[in-house]
């Protein structure tokens, strides 16, 4: 790490009042270590990616995304396919990638760990989806991509309430979706890692998981998921039963979830999701906690896509 840009979201998370002070401490540590470092503040949704692109053009070899998973997600879009390293400094409401990398400390302590981190090339997921205007777009992701109820949940989150209430809002909205959503079925076509023959299923929720530890109570949500995996680790919910969803989530919180024909865990090369015949219900898609659009959706892996700073001892 010779020249680094810290891109931070001043409104990310519940405790944003002392954000600039924390960033200044992190800058001081980097400069004391001989790194030419600068801090860049985001101004609007999507601006983190623009700032990252500009920093790369100006010769930065490292971008530190300081915020939640949304900030990391925006920065990621500008770094895939480059040799510029991505570092994660958790400052948001949801910090799943940081938790998976063992980064749960203050920005200053996190930067010290990143100075000793190993730059490792990892694969990322890529999701293709249709936006509200009908255009097909794509996004890269490092944590998870989802189609179904989890994306509907994100569509209902109020950003101002999210900053004020944090995880409490997640719990309230999560319960509301569980209690009122009909969990409509859609068609998913999988190409599994162990077979070249596509398999078609009717499902109500799909999750493509890239990390082992989401932090908090979800320490091993999708066993076998890892950033080093060059395939998709998928969870497919082939049920509309609220009780089945509830049982699975309660078991996952205690690390005791089991998988079956109803809720299946498996590896795949790719998956395509389309509306079921005659279904008028719009099904949403998300990636890294960011609402994207709707069906049709295709998810695949981009190998050797980005350089990630992984601290010593982390098991991503």
Distance of CA 234 to the CA centre of its chain: 14
Packing angle between helix 107-115 and helix 19-32, nearest 10 degrees?
A: 30
Residue 86 backbone dihedrals phi, psi, to 5 degrees: -110, 125
Closest Cα to residue 152, out of 292, 253, 300, 12? 292
- The per-residue pLDDT for 316 is 76
Packing angle between helix 167-180 and helix 242-253, nearest 10 degrees?
A: 150
Strand partners, 209: 144, 233
Does this model's pTM top 0.85? yes
CA atoms of 51 and 141, how far apart (whole Å) = 18
- For β-strands 199-203 and 290-310, DSSP reports them as unpaired
What is 3-116's CATH number, 3.30.530.20, 3.40.50.850, 3.40.50.300, 3.40.50.10330?
Answer: 3.40.50.10330
- The per-residue pLDDT for 165 is 53
CA atoms of 33 and 112, how far apart (whole Å) = 9
Q: What is the CA radius of gyration of the chain?
A: 19
- The per-residue pLDDT for 250 is 85
What DSSP element (H or E) covers 308?
strand 290-310
Q: What is the CATH number of domain 124-303?
A: 2.60.200.40
Per domain, the residue ranges of the chain are 3-116, 124-303
Task: Convert the pLDDT of each residue in 237-256 to its tens digit.
Answer: 999 999 998 898 888 888 78
State the 10-residue block means of pLDDT for the chain, 316 residues long.
93 63 93 96 91 97 94 96 96 86 91 96 97 94 94 67 57 70 92 88 96 79 91 95 89 84 94 86 90 95 97 85
- The per-residue pLDDT for 74 is 96
CA atoms of 291 and 59, how far apart (whole Å) = 31
Contact yes or no for 264/239 (Cβ under 8 A): no
* Dihedral sign, Cα of residue 174, residue 286, residue 90, residue 165: negative
């Amino acid at each position: 790490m010779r020249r680094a840009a810290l891109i931070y979201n001043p409104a990310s998370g519940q405790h944003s009042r002392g954000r600039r002070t924390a960033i200044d401490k992190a800058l001081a540590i980097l400069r004391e270590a001989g790194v030419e470092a600068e801090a860049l503040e985001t101004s609007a949704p999507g601006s983190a990616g623009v700032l990252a692109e500009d920093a790369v053009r100006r010769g930065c070899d490292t971008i530190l995304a300081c915020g939640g998973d949304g900030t990391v997600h925006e920065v990621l879009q500008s770094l895939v396919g480059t040799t510029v390293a991505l570092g994660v400094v958790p400052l948001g409401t949801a910090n799943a990638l940081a938790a998976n990398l063992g980064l749960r400390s203050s920005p200053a302590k996190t930067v010290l760990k990143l100075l000793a981190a190993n730059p490792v090339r990892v694969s990322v997921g890529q999701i293709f989806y249709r936006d509200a205007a009908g255009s097909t777009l794509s996004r890269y992701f490092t944590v998870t991509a989802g189609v179904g109820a989890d994306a509907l949940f994100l569509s209902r989150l109020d950003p101002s309430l999210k900053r004020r209430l944090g995880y409490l809002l997640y719990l309230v909205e999560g319960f509301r979706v569980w209690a009122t959503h009909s969990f409509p079925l859609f068609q998913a076509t999988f190409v599994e890692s162990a077979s070249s023959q596509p398999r078609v299923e009717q499902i109500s929720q799909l999750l493509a998981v890239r990390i082992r530890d989401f932090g908090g109570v979800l320490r091993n949500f999708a066993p076998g998921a890892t950033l080093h995996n060059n395939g998709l680790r998928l969870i497919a919910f082939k049920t509309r039963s609220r009780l089945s969803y509830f049982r699975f989530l309660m078991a996952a919180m205690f690390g005791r979830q089991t998988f079956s024909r109803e809720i299946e865990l498996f590896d795949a090369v790719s998956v395509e999701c389309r509306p079921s015949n005659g279904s008028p219900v719009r099904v949403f898609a998300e990636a890294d906690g960011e609402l994207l659009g709707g069906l049709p959706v295709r998810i695949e892996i981009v190998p050797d896509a980005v350089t990630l700073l992984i601290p010593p001892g982390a098991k991503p």
